[in-house]
Structure 1
């Protein structure tokens, strides 16, 4: 959301769609949190279209499609975590939304050693992210939610 707010300030005429329907601990929804964040970041909330029915990446794309006018044909910036970008691109393409990837939240560390440090728990967490995304890509493809297992960049 931080990068989306930065882009919204940088490009004041660019429309913004925020996707996310989950509730956080039976309290605020992702949309509620985003509204509060964007307001506090000084972004005019009227220019943001909130999609709050989705529950996964595929439904993010399908529900976002409903918020885009047929006259809005230019590519949309797709801002999401870098590790999640391939599945997001595939889902938004399947929804016939032209996107330009804008990855954020890279999961990398800077280190100055040749071998790095032993960190079994951290490495397992990184492996878990990777497996989750690869399984997600395959599952979406097998279920017919996307037409490509691993999308090529535009």
Structure 2
């Protein structure tokens, strides 16, 4: 239920809902004015949140809150890399690395980059949804991670679940890899569990300055707006639940 409500609160979900209500209202003569109003608001939401500058203004404060990690030398002593899962499909007709979506692929690449830049003795813990964790783990091994360095934590369906399950596994600081826009919420739930993550952002969706974004409406920008609103709503929900 929470996921359905969340899907309706992001710009595209809200626009689709208003559009559907507008079509239903058009079936009744006395509701025609309401129908036009609903359809107009749906179109306005789609247009505004599909604009690159709006999408960037929403997501950029989350994506660029923490600096990128280019090398591990300033963090000597860290022995674990935690990679939160994105999405993956367990479809044998696809090539292994092609089963991951872009978010999962960027996170896998970032883990390997840390491994190759001074953290080659680090264990890599992939935490999250079972299918995605399995595919991401197999991809890491296929791309060069030693099998003995991989640990799968597959009992977490949400970021809050990952924080709870990692709490018993990690006592010392560790690298946390996830999409840049997802870091604020991830760090908050991990800190709530008394953990000490070092943020490693990846999978950026846009420039830092909204004035550098493309002004033309596009599906990509609407998706970026959805990601940003999803994070803000998620943080509010976690705060209400006491998870952060």
Aligned position for 2:184: 86
Aligned position for 1:40: 142
- 1:2 is aligned to 2:114: no
Q: Distance in 2 between matches of 1:114 and 1:38?
A: 34
**Larger helix share, 1 or 2:** 2
- 1:15 is aligned to 2:123: yes
Unaligned runs of 5+ in 1: 23-28, 147-154
Aligned position for 1:128: 226
- Look at both structures and tell me which one has the larger radius of gyration over its CA atoms: 2
Q: Distance in 2 between matches of 1:87 and 1:133?
A: 7
Q: Distance in 1 between matches of 2:113 and 2:213?
A: 36
Q: Residue 9 of structure 1 contacts residue 43 of structure 1 at CA under 8 Å; is this kept in 2? A: no
Q: Which has the higher contact order (CA 8 A, sep 6+)?
A: 2
What RMSD over aligned residues (CA atoms) do the two structures have, in Å? Answer: 2.0
TM-score by length of 1: 0.78
Aligned position for 1:152: none
Count of equivalent residues: 134
What are the Cα deviations for residues 79-138 of structure 1, in whole angstroms up to 9, with x where unaligned? 11011110000011112110111100000159xx97733114333222111110000001
TM-score by length of 2: 0.51
4+ residue runs over 2 A deviation:
113-117, 120-124
State how 1:49-64 maps to structure 2 within 5 Å: 49-64=151-166
